[in-house]
Amino acid sequence: MGHPETGWPTPVSAYGRNPETGTHPSSARTLFAEPARTRATVDNHVSNASLCIGPGWPGYLPDWLGSNLSHRLSGGVRSAVMKVGIIGSGHIGGTLTRRLCALGHDVTVANSRGPESLAGLAAETGATAGTVDQAAAAAELVVVAVPLFAVPDLPAEAFDGRVVVDANNYYVQRDGEIPEVADRSISSSRWVAGHLSGARVVKAFNNIQAQHLLEQGRPAGTGNRIALPVAGDDEQAKRMVMDLVDELGFDPVDAGTLDESWRQQPDTPVYGTDRDAEGVREGLASARP
């Protein structure tokens, strides 16, 4: 099965250098370049809310949301505007930057190459390009969407007290040997939480393809709405992330604690399979270590 957060790559290395071969993360320690997208901007002033989409792309909001943008921004359907930090600008990080900016959230995005490398994404979406410390400092919620091997290099103290969404997966061919994660003695998110010990870590967005995250959101109550598992120890933090999942157009499913989040890791029934809420619950229950 392909890796959900990669999908359609132009490979680059974790720090922006082109690898010798254009290999998939299953055979090389690579990240993927941001997919090219047309510009979408949202006027955050409700009275003038608008969506501007360039030619050749349907935009960052699904039709049901884009056609009713002003209503959703002004009518209490969506959650309050949040300050969100996103660490990582690859497929999942870049997609969440696009989607959350389009929903009107205040997004600061960072990566390992520095703010200058994010000028295009910032201009395209209205996000602020910053450093990792800057992205975390002002945020109510921070998404970490970097390869697992890069997590120990993050400035852990910058995440103290923050709700941190762990969108990572462990791929041994990319991330190297992490014995306790490889043998599932602990979940990859418990390992992340150990490095970001002051954060309120929640596991989400790791099991869906980036393109589906971009395009497949649906209104609440729609049949066959894709569901996403959300796991965490802090119930308030988990509820915040579940509300965000719903706002993005997916049914959130409580997947238990971080120790139980292995049930949504690679090679489990819910990984990359776009199940509805009942299907996700069944898949979580049937997962085997």
User: What's the pLDDT tens digit per position in 84-98?
Assistant: 999 999 999 999 999
The residues that bridge with 31 in the sheet, in sequence order, are 12
Residues contacting residue 190 through CB under 8 Å, at least 6 positions apart: 258, 259, 261
The structural domains of the chain, ordered by start, are 80-286 (3.40.50.720)
> Between 257 and 43, where is the model more confident?
257
Instruction: Kindly report the number of other CB atoms within 10 A of residue 199's CB atom.
Output: 25
pLDDT in tens, 160-201: 999 999 999 999 999 999 999 999 999 999 999 999 999 999
205 or 16, which is more confident? 205
State yes or no: pLDDT of 54 exceeds 50.
no
Check: CB of residue 152 under 8 Å from CB of residue 195: yes
Residue 142's H or E segment, with its range, is strand 141-144
The mean pLDDT value of the chain amounts to: 81
Going from the C-alpha of 173 to that of each of 2, 66, 125, 146, 268, the distances in angstroms are: 13, 39, 33, 15, 18
If you compute the radius of gyration of the chain from its CA atoms, what whole number of angstroms results?
18
Res 24: pLDDT: 32
Residue 194 β-bridge partners: none
| DSSP symbol at 248 | T
* Whole-angstrom distance, CA of residue 225 vs CA of residue 282: 16
156 contacts 196 by C-beta, under 8 angstroms: yes
Percent over 70 (pLDDT), the chain: 73
Q: Are 253 and 227 in contact (CB under 8 A)?
A: yes
pLDDT bin (cut points 50, 70, 90) of residue 79 is low
User: Among 61-65, 73-77, 126-130, 244-248, where is mean pLDDT lowest?
Assistant: 73-77
